[in-house]
């Protein structure tokens, strides 16, 4: 017997459908919106309201503008009459022909005649006004005065290039483009961002956003928004504001294009004022997979920093807020009880002492024993990373769809694969260690070995849930090797000494794109240029942004760490240093060395990896990952980075088969100049030749007696 679902009783009610819009009305509105004969300000309500506001503003300003034009016209008239009565045109012509002495009598006679004409005109005008007053009364005087005022206003109207319209020395410049769009066009022309015959197209009218004015414009067809961002300081000067008050951004996505730029001008310094309190103090716990609240931009918008799947480099000179910024990134991880934290402090002191209570591994100090402990813990973590990849390869597709860690995997205590962060403050202390040691049959230094370990973790670790956060007060090419910098995704450059240090933190040529951390003011503590790796609230396509980081002093940092310990105790994830376990796990050192060598381009030799001859080895080490990204490297850059003698360097490179060439390279001012240098394809060929030569030598040794 078939079973049916329940049967309901009901009454069918037919509603009258809404009457369709008459076809005539639709056709009329379609014509109204598309017709070129209908003014643009009548096509939408918003445009009509804006036009009405413009009319009101124009009416309110008209009396004052008329009075100003009359005053300028009076000045123009007086100057013109004075030039005429002194016969300056005739005098200048005589001076140019060097006959001023011969024409002196004629000039004097003409001057006296024009004075007489002036007197006659003044008397005749006064008599005419008196007669008109007697015949027609006061109306004649008012009409005559009005006509004269209109004539003077026409003569005194603002006109570029007209004589006598602009004083030689005017008052101070001030921001006026929000009231007069023509001033904005003039500012773009003065900054040489558009030509004298070019103009701007208004996309969005000037409006108040936060504590400033915002406007969106389209540049001429041949101009790019990237050039406006690059020359932001020139535009700020033309607008009479400090460059920190001007934010220029390219409008991207569906509503933007390469020539559409959004401007925001703050009323005052947006980075002044009291420190900003971090929102993490008001939450009980945090999810490490969510971006961490990091700071605010000039408009007051919150900037969140993603950490999982990437890494972070923080660089600054001392006392600019480097440690506080690094704490912010670490705080979100501390408040997630399912994260594992490695804290290494190369400075010592108590800045990071509160982290001991939540740290899985903790090192604080700058002595050799501390550097060796950091090395051992990093070796341990490299082995852990290899183990994670091996275990993920055996998981089913439902638990691990790709060879990447997932939130479910990271929170499964039985799997033992939590999100793991390595936070190192003053990393240069460990990278500069010159203690000699052998790794895989190759002599190296302790600092270079630590750099290799960090490079591996930053390159291979993100997919396995490893986050690397490094902070240094010496952002130079010798302290942090290029092979390590090249694989650090997110960058934060607080104030540094010069544009070279800024580029080392943010990336090559970032200063030519308008991002230079050396231009930040000393008073802007905690303000830096952030180059995020991943999507932020400002958009996924943003190159970099200026951010004022939140402030987290020691007392608040200690509170966060105490809360993190309580969360871990409740979740049963407290382990390692936090519970007194300082034992270093046994790791297969050979497997770690093999993993490190797999990322290098050198071929193996009987003693290990091929040792390239100098200076080729130093050049390859300096370029790092950029050897495959850049096409040309100037000789001056290599000589300066390697501190080499130019003549000897060039001779040695030629002996190794790397011939110099001339090509174009970008300069500090954004232009390109033809300079001497080396194509990276030639450097790679020299490296391949060295490998082949080493392999051939090894084969010859095997075939020998």
Q: How far apart are CA 219 and CA 185, in angstroms?
A: 10
pLDDT at residue 181, as a whole number: 75
Residue 23, CA atoms < 13 Å, CB-side half-sphere: 0
Does 342 or 59 have the greater pLDDT score? 342
Average pLDDT on 75-96 reads 77
Four-way CATH pick for 279-579: 3.40.50.300, 3.40.50.720, 3.90.1150.10, 3.40.50.10280: 3.40.50.300
Residue ranges covered by each domain of the chain: 45-155, 181-266, 279-579, 603-703
Strand partners, 218: 201, 260
pLDDT(144) > 70: yes
Cβ-based neighbour number of residue 154 at 10 Å: 11
The pLDDT, as a whole number, for residue 700 is 42
Please determine, for residue 381, whether its predicted confidence score (pLDDT) is greater than 90: yes
Q: Contact 335/584 with Cβ under 8 angstroms?
A: no
From CA 428, how far away is CA 317, in angstroms rounded?
A: 13
Query: Which range (302-306, 581-585, 601-605) has the least confidence?
Result: 601-605
Find out whether 430 and 439 touch, Cβ atoms under 8 Å.
no
Handedness of CA 233, 234, 240, 246 (dihedral sign): negative
* Short-list 483, 473, 542, CA closest to 318: 473
Residues of the chain above pLDDT 90, percent: 24
Phi, psi (degrees; rounded to nearest 5) at 236: -60, -40
User: Using one digit for the tens of pLDDT, what is the confidence trace for 516-538?
Assistant: 888 888 888 889 999 988 665 55
Smallest Cα–Cα separation from 533: which of 584, 487, 590?
487
Contacts of 476 (CB under 8 A, 6+ apart): 500, 501, 504
* Integer Cα distance of 18 and 620 in angstroms: 74
- Architecture per CATH, domain 181-266, reads as 2-Layer Sandwich (3.30)
Residue pLDDT, tens place only, 668-703: 666 778 888 888 888 888 887 777 665 554 444 443
- Statement: residue 161 has pLDDT above 60: no
646 vs 637: CA distance, rounded Å: 11
Give the pLDDT band of residue 569 (cuts 50, 70, 90): very high
Specify the DSSP element, H or E, that contains 672.
Answer: strand 672-679
Phi/psi at 617 (5° precision): -60, -40
Above 70 in pLDDT, residue 9?
no
Return the pLDDT at 705. 32
Q: Closest Cα to residue 557, out of 364, 327, 329?
A: 327
Work out the end-to-end distance of the chain between its first and last CA atoms, rounded to an integer number of angstroms.
94
Helix axes 554-571, 322-334, angle to 10 degrees: 20
Please state, as a whole number, how many other Cβ atoms lie within 10 Å of the Cβ of residue 225: 23
Q: Is the pLDDT of residue 101 over 80?
A: no
Q: What does residue 214 show for φ and ψ, rounded to 5 degrees?
A: -125, 145
Per-residue pLDDT, averaged over 613-626, amounts to 80
pLDDT higher than threshold 80 for residue 116: yes
pLDDT at 31 over 80: no
DSSP 438: E
Mean pLDDT of 605-619: 63
Please state, in angstroms and rounded to a whole number, the distance separating the CA atoms of residues 217 and 405. 44
Residue 158: predicted pLDDT: 61
Query: 505, 475 in Cβ contact below 8 A?
Result: yes
Chain centre distance of CA 524: 16
Q: What is the pLDDT of residue 44?
A: 72
Nearby residues of 219 by Cβ (< 8 Å), 6 or more positions away:
193, 194, 200, 225, 228, 259, 260, 261
Specify the pTM: 0.64
Tell me the per-residue pLDDT of 477-519, one tens digit each, with 9 for 90 and over.
Answer: 677 887 888 888 899 999 988 888 888 888 877 887 778 888 8
Q: Please state the φ and ψ torsions of residue 678, each to the nearest 5 degrees.
A: -130, 135
Residue 327 has pLDDT above 80, yes or no: yes
H-run or E-run covering 368: helix 368-393
Using DSSP's 3-state secondary structure scheme, residue 494 falls into: coil
C-beta of residue 217 within 8 angstroms of C-beta of residue 200: yes
Contacts of 493 (CB under 8 A, 6+ apart): 315, 316, 475, 501, 502, 505, 506, 517, 528, 529, 531
**Mean pLDDT (whole number) for 593-616:** 53
Q: What pLDDT was estimated at residue 166?
A: 46
Q: How many CA atoms lie within 13 A of 689 on its CB side?
A: 12
Average the pLDDT over each of 72-76, 116-120, 133-137, 434-438 and give the range with the smallest value.
133-137
Mean pLDDT of 111-132: 84
Sequence-ordered list of residues with C-beta below 8 angstroms from that of 296, at least 6 positions apart, any chain? 276, 302, 303, 547, 548, 550
Q: Is the pLDDT of residue 43 over 80?
A: no
């Amino acid at each position: 017997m078939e079973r049916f679902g329940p049967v309901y009783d009901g009454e069918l009610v037919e509603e009258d459908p809404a009457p369709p819009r008459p076809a005539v009305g639709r056709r009329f509105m379609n014509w109204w919106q598309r017709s070129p004969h209908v003014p643009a300000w009548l096509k939408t309500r918003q445009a009509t309201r804006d036009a009405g506001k413009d009319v009101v503003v124009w009416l309110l300003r008209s009396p004052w503008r008329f009075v100003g034009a009359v005053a300028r016209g009076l000045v123009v008239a007086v100057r013109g009459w004075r030039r005429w009565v002194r016969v300056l045109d005739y005098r200048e012509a005589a001076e140019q022909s060097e006959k001023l002495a011969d024409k002196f009598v004629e000039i004097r006679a003409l001057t006296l005649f024009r004075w007489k004409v002036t007197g006659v005109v003044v008397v005749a005008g006064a008599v005419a006004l008196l007669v008109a007053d007697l015949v027609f009364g006061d109306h004649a005087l008012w009409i005559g005065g009005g006509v004269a005022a209109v004539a003077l206003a026409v003569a005194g109207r603002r006109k570029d290039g007209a004589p006598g319209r602009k004083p030689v020395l005017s008052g101070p410049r001030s921001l006026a483009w929000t009231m007069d769009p023509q001033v904005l066009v003039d500012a773009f022309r003065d900054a040489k961002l558009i030509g004298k015959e070019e103009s701007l197209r208004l996309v969005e009218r000037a409006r108040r956003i936060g504590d400033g004015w915002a406007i969106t414009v389209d540049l001429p067809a041949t101009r790019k928004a990237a050039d406006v961002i690059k020359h932001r300081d020139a535009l700020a000067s033309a607008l009479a504001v400090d460059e920190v008050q001007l934010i220029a951004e390219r409008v991207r996505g569906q509503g933007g294009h390469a020539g559409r730029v959004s401007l925001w001008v703050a009323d005052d310094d947006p980075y002044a004022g009291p420190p900003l309190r971090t929102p993490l103090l008001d939450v009980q716990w945090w999810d490490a997979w969510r971006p961490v609240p990091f700071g605010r931009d000039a408009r007051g918008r919150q900037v969140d920093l993603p950490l999982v799947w990437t890494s972070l480099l923080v660089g600054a000179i001392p006392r600019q807020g480097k440690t506080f910024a690094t704490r912010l990134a670490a705080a979100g991880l501390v408040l997630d009880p399912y994260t594992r934290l490695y804290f290494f402090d190369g400075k010592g002191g108590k800045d990071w002492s509160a982290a001991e209570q939540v740290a899985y591994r903790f090192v604080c100090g700058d002595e050799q024993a501390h550097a060796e402990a950091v090395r051992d813990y990093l070796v341990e973590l490299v082995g852990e990373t290899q183990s994670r990849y091996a275990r993920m390869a055996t998981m089913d597709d439902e638990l691990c769809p790709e060879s990447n860690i997932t939130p479910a995997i990271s929170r499964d205590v039985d799997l033992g694969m939590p999100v793991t962060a390595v936070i190192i403050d003053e990393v240069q202390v460990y990278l500069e260690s010159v203690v000699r040691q052998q790794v895989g049959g190759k002599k190296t230094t302790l600092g270079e070995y630590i750099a290799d370990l960090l490079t591996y973790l930053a390159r291979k670790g993100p997919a396995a849930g490893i986050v690397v956060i490094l902070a240094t007060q010496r952002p130079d090419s010798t302290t942090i090797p290029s092979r390590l910098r090249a694989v650090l995704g997110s960058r934060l450059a607080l104030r540094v000494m010069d544009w070279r240090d800024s580029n080392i933190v943010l990336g090559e040529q970032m200063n030519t794109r308008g991002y230079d951390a050396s231009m930040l003011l000393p008073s802007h503590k905690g303000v830096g240029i952030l180059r995020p790796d991943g999507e932020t609230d400002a958009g996924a396509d943003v190159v970099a942004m200026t951010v004022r980081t939140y402030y987290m002093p020691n007392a608040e940092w200690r509170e966060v760490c105490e809360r993190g310990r309580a969360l871990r105790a409740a979740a049963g994830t407290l382990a390692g240093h936090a519970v007194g376990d300082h034992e270093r796990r046994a790791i297969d050192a050979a497997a770690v060395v093999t993993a490190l060598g797999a990322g290098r381009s050198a071929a193996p030799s009987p003693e290990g990896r091929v040792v390239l001859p100098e200076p080729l080895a130093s050049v390859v080490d300096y370029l790092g990952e950029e050897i495959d990204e850049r096409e040309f490297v100037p000789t001056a850059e290599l000589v300066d980075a390697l501190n080499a003698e130019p003549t000897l360097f060039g001779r040695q490179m030629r002996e190794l088969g790397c011939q110099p060439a001339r090509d174009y390279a970008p300069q500090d001012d954004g232009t390109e100049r033809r300079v001497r240098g080396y194509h990276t394809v030639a450097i790679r060929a020299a490296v391949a030749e060295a490998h082949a030569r080493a392999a051939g030598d090894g084969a010859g040794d095997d075939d020998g007696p």
